Chain A
């Protein structure tokens, strides 16, 4: 044993990594797997984005110009599934893989082989889902929410959709288990729970949400499968079933899912704003409690997605009040981020720019969310473009911008090189301007009466649809800069020191840039931890 330890220590700095394709297929290293997750998420972001371009192209003017309505419905359905399960969730898992071991002083994730498995499920899941575009009847077209009875009308793509969702769910659950085990068991001595960086905290809570709700989704889609193929009638009224029950089960998964998509963003913003304000995060503990309260509330608000299904008055009142309550901890977070900047010393590098856009635009998405919580008003907003605008504000300049902020923040750490700040700033300004041109007019469209998920519209909606489409095309085109900045950085960036940013703090900045293959082979000493926490 002693000999083995000595041997391991002597080789600590050696990589021992397999080369060529084996390095990736047999990967057990958290950085390699993190990279694969991020590359996968980026590819899916462009695939889902291409589908959004088809949607915006058809909606550029009234009348049907390019696609069949059924294909249009497939595009909205697939766009949502790919962006949620293919881009945002794997993106967060990729960042978690890269950063959590480095931030808690661990050499790697706790369960490296499970880590490999949870990643490699994803390419199969999405190959299955995307190949449904080529089967008779076309890709799933019943919306990503898969409401029966409509979803049961899908042709050959139906079982492909169900099994793809099962695979994505399995991947997420395994990834979440790995993250919980890593955070609970692999923290360096001295890193108590309330000394963990906010990104680790938000991911810990996200992982619990995933473990709690992904099995619920799996159950719901399995019931769809047996309804379709094995003669059950869980959701078929003719057989004594209940189509609304599916919606309750789905949204019991779906609302926590919304926070699965946004909580890691809260964590990243809570890392970046202090760094570029050169000041500690204001109200660290309240931030942790706010995230925990949001996670708890996420389990008791699900029916606000279905106010129009005809629930009893008492249920509607309950879900209205619980929904409005979410504004309180969310407000606390926004106020704390603002207070972090107050009397700071601010500079505006690309990560900070994206974080600031998050702060402003996520808040706008929060406002429209508050409006949707008012049940009588929601009767007018439900299933219109107002809701489309709302959730795109929280997901695009919310989740996606936070993810880009995170990549721009840690990219110098990962590669050991600084990227082209000017080009990244261009990426920021183009994204920030056109995301608003794209989504802000959709508020007007919804209020004026345009339903969502329609391929064609009445002529009075033409102007704002054109504006929105133009914004969409430019926003889409601007995203090409993102991989360009990253590739340029890897090829020809200027070397950076351990602390790539002047105000950066935390254990990851105590490691060299790029960090060694196995992050912390010996736990960081108290002195290192203290230095990491310094401001």
Chain B
């Protein structure tokens, strides 16, 4: 009796919680529950496919779970249900529930294949960037302009993530999703990424671009994106393939700028890197692009 009462109270609490759910979801945003639509045509198509297959599953779920729950309620021994032991098979029904899923699957496969074909079309690109994953960070190389630099987890996150650092991660802006030098790209241009790995396999993933591509030593994988003309700002992602101790600490930040801003950034960075390289030894590592650090700091504020 007391157990039943406790359960009833629990159920009431849960129901109250569910009623307040919409308000709560509003507050925290769908960003915590669902894929983002992203900032490219492809990422929105992927989002569309995701939602389509999700609703297909929901509808099938309502029907199947509905029948199951109906059986649990209607055919209880305690309610005096008598089993119909002659019901052992029914060819017509079995054919129907084999054919109907096949039709649904074909209806899903066609748009998925169409989007996939589009994703794989890496022709007619305007900018080529080589992305190299290493333990633990990324190197970006603008192939035609001779600009290259490394991108690591930013200092603030790096200090806070140490075991027992005593720093509250909530006080660090973009904790674990911020880097020292983000990848700078223009909007409205079809950018091709040539992705590879230096040591072990990594995976370059920015969900707002709808791109996740493995960075594999000995392979060069291709991916492309064309960001909406009107979008500027920061996109954040992670390495998505286990790559050792600091796999969780090699984020990706993409700094999206207008074409003009990007061009001037690229020009000044190229000049800066040439200057830095000139007096130094030939084997000098590529230096940091001057403009990005300030941009990151501004964006994270």
Say if the beta carbon of A309 comes within 8 Å of chain B.
yes
User: Which of A244, A308, A317, A325 has the most chain B CB atoms closer than 10 A to its own CB?
Assistant: A308
Looking at A49-57, A448-456, A518-526, the stretch in contact with chain B turns out to be A448-456
A374 to B244, CA, bound (A): 29
Say if the beta carbon of B214 comes within 8 Å of chain A.
yes
Flag if A347 contacts B94 (CB, 8 Å): no
Residues of A within 8 A of B68 (CB): 338, 341, 356, 359-360
A370 to B52, CA, bound (A): 12
Distance in Å from the Cβ of B215 to the closest Cβ of chain A? Answer: 10
Say if the beta carbon of A124 comes within 8 Å of chain B.
no
| SS class, residues of chain B in contact with chain A | mixed
Say if the beta carbon of B300 comes within 8 Å of chain A.
no
Kindly identify which residue among B94, B102, B214 contacts A309, using a CB–CB cutoff of 8 Å: B214
Flag if A282 contacts B200 (CB, 8 Å): no
Kindly identify which residue among B82, B113, B214, B246 contacts A345, using a CB–CB cutoff of 8 Å: B82
A364 to B60, CA, bound (A): 11
Flag if B83 contacts A243 (CB, 8 Å): no
Say if the beta carbon of B72 comes within 8 Å of chain A.
yes
Flag if A342 contacts B71 (CB, 8 Å): yes
Residues of B within 8 A of A48 (CB): none
A237 to B57, CA, bound (A): 41
Type the 1/0 row for A270-295, where 1 means its CB is closer than 8 Å to any CB of B.
Answer: 00000001111111111000000000
Kindly identify which residue among A67, A444, A454 contacts B248, using a CB–CB cutoff of 8 Å: A454
Flag if A367 contacts B60 (CB, 8 Å): yes
Residues of A within 8 A of B167 (CB): 63
A312 to B97, CA, bound (A): 33
A62 to B157, CA, bound (A): 11
Q: For window 365-380 of chain A, which residues contact chain B by CB distance below 8 Å?
A: 367-368, 370-371, 374-377, 379-380
Residues of A within 8 A of B84 (CB): 279, 343-344
Kindly identify which residue among B174, B203, B243 contacts A150, using a CB–CB cutoff of 8 Å: B243
Say if the beta carbon of B87 comes within 8 Å of chain A.
yes
Count residues of B near A (Cβ-Cβ below 8 Å). 96
Residues of B within 8 A of A343 (CB): 75, 81, 83-84, 87
Say if the beta carbon of A100 comes within 8 Å of chain B.
no
Contact-size category for A:
35 or more
Say if the beta carbon of B20 comes within 8 Å of chain A.
no
Flag if B170 contacts A459 (CB, 8 Å): yes
Residues of B within 8 A of A453 (CB): 242, 247-248
Say if the beta carbon of B53 comes within 8 Å of chain A.
yes
Type the 1/0 row for A69-99, where 1 means its CB is closer than 8 Å to any CB of B.
Answer: 1100100000000000000000000000000
Q: For window 228-262 of chain B, which residues contact chain A by CB distance below 8 Å?
A: 237-249
A372 to B96, CA, bound (A): 25
Type the 1/0 row for B142-159, where 1 means its CB is closer than 8 Å to any CB of A.
Answer: 000000000000000000
**Contacts A149-B200, A243-B217; A451 near B163 (Cβ below 8 A):** no
Residues of B within 8 A of A371 (CB): 50, 53-54, 57
User: Closest chain A residue to B60 by CB distance?
Assistant: A367
* Contact sample, A vs B, 20 pairs, CB 8 Å cutoff: A64-B165, A149-B201, A280-B88, A335-B64, A338-B71, A342-B67, A345-B81, A346-B77, A367-B57, A371-B54, A374-B53, A374-B108, A376-B119, A379-B212, A382-B212, A383-B203, A383-B241, A456-B248, A458-B175, A458-B177
Seen from chain A, the residues whose Cβ lies within 8 Å of a Cβ on chain B are 62-70, 73, 141-143, 147, 149-150, 153, 237-238, 241-244, 277-286, 308-310, 313, 316-317, 320-321, 324-325, 327-328, 331-332, 334-336, 338-339, 341-347, 356, 359-360, 363-364, 367-368, 370-371, 374-377, 379-380, 382-384, 444, 447-449, 451, 453-460, 463-464, 535
Seen from chain B, the residues whose Cβ lies within 8 Å of a Cβ on chain A are 28, 31-36, 42, 45-46, 49-50, 53-54, 57, 60-61, 64-65, 67-68, 71-72, 75-78, 81-85, 87-90, 93-94, 97-98, 101-102, 105, 108-109, 112-113, 115-117, 119-120, 160-165, 167-170, 174-177, 199-201, 203, 205, 207, 210-214, 216-219, 221-222, 237-249
